[in-house]
Amino acid sequence: MTKEKATTLTELQDENCINQSFVRDEDDRPKVAYNDFTDVIPVISLSGIDSDDKRAEIRGKITEACETWGLFQVIDHGVEVEVISEMARLSTEFFHLPASEKERFSSSDGKPGSFFVSSPFKGELVQNWRETVTQCTYPIKSGDYTLWPDKPQGWRNLTKDYSDKMMDLSHKLLGLLSEALGLQTDALSKACVQMDQRVMINYYPKCPQPDLTLGLLRHTDPGTITLLYQDQVGGLQATCDDGVTWITVPPIPGALVVNLGDHSHFVSNGRFVSAEHRAVVNSNTGRLSMVTFQYPTAEARVYPLTLREGETPIMEEAISFGEMYRRKMSKDLELPRNKKLETKMDKSKLESRSIDAIFI
């Protein structure tokens, strides 16, 4: 009997080697192990955030982190540990379902869905070693939970609760960053016009040859702020020197990783860093991360909100976030060409697609 072709990575995790489609160029391969942790990324407690004195102290720590790495971790953030742990449990349970169950919600072959392997883009030359479930959760009218898997039981409803809590925390953090820029507390939230949100659950199965591939290629997020839960395995890496050196962000029980995206970089006139990061995999165990992206509505105006004395704008003109995102995607798709690699992805197709349709 002929063996059926594997459609998910969990079916391939016990193979002896990976398919050539997952093999990265030498300069893209990881040189730092998934569990080689460092303590350079700040861990900041939000306890006392509503007290004026304590708020100033917290704001100072977050501002410094955003001006260097664009990335930090928060504890005492107010999101119940029970909600996070149950969300992680159900997410992990889904990825261990049979491939046929996951494929029921696949976004393959142009049909709408929430599950995909590697990336929603088809024809990519080099694939990511990950499985993903993702869905727009705000605004409410944009969400379609019939596309979110119906197994495990209760996962859909919990995802709604989880996304609400991440939205609330995002606004709190953006309030601190607004104040750091000398603006009103709600300035960054207002700059988004209507804050959009996408929940993305990533699972990186154990990999036979983790030194040859990545779970997710080096990138910056396009939006305003990203909140990420990672389990205790390790694999999130960041760089602040254009990829010369990479550090592995240590998993901390109860903590959430916060990183800023391109939108925050532009509206702060470059004061805040758009965090460059990637995910590496390992041959010992799978890894789960749960990400919530907060980003502006497509029509939001992107331009520095304020300038310090002597500064000039880093943007020539104001553009919509939708246009900013399309330009980013077009630039990202050029990278393989710049390396003299062929690619089947057609960037012209981005021009006619909505921001949600092309959002990763």
pLDDT in tens, 180-206: 999 999 999 999 998 999 999 999 999
What CATH number is attached to the domain comprising 261? 2.60.120.330
- DSSP state letters, 307-352: --TT---SSSS-EEHHHHHHHHHHHHHHHHHHTT------GGGGGG
Tell me the β-bridge partners of 28: none
Q: How far apart (Å, rounded) are the C-alpha atoms in residues 300 and 319?
A: 8
Residue 17 lies in a domain: yes
pLDDT tens digits, one per residue of 294-338: 999 999 999 999 999 999 999 999 999 999 999 888 776 666 545
How many C-beta neighbours within 10 Å does residue 209 have? Answer: 15
Q: How far apart (Å, rounded) are the C-alpha atoms in residues 188 and 287?
A: 32
Question: What's the whole-number average pLDDT of the chain?
Answer: 90
Please state the domain count of the chain: 1
Per the CB < 8 A criterion, the answer to whether 106 and 131 are in contact is no
Residue 53 lies in a domain: yes
SS3 content of the chain, % helix, strand, coil (to 5): 30, 20, 50
Six token digits for residue 132: 């993903």
Where does the pLDDT of residue 109 fall: very low under 50, low under 70, confident under 90, or very high at 90 and above? low
pTM score, whole prediction: 0.91
Residue 107 lies in a domain: yes
Which distant-in-sequence residues (6+ apart) come within 8 Å of 72 by Cβ? 41, 42, 43, 44, 61, 62, 65, 66, 257, 258
Q: How far apart (Å, rounded) are the C-alpha atoms in residues 115 and 137?
A: 15
Question: Of the candidates 301, 331, 332, which has an alpha carbon nearest to the alpha carbon of residue 315?
Answer: 301
- Domain encompassing residue 129: 9-307+317-351
Residue 255 lies in a domain: yes
Residue 3 lies in a domain: no
What does each C-alpha distance from 262 to 70, 74, 187, 273 come to in angstroms? 10, 20, 17, 8
Question: Of the candidates 167, 177, 278, which has an alpha carbon nearest to the alpha carbon of residue 220?
Answer: 278
Range 211-226 average pLDDT: 96
Q: How far apart (Å, rounded) are the C-alpha atoms in residues 300 and 318?
A: 10
Residue 2 lies in a domain: no
**260 class by beta-carbon count within 10 Å (0-12 exposed, 13-18 middle, 19+ buried):** buried
What amino acid occupies position 342? E
Residue 4 lies in a domain: no
Residue 356 lies in a domain: no
Look at the alpha carbons of 340, 343, 349, 350 in this order and tell me if their dihedral is positive or negative.
negative
Per the CB < 8 A criterion, the answer to whether 254 and 200 are in contact is no
Six token digits for residue 31: 């040189």
pLDDT at 104 over 80: yes
pLDDT tens digits, one per residue of 10-30: 988 888 999 999 999 999 999
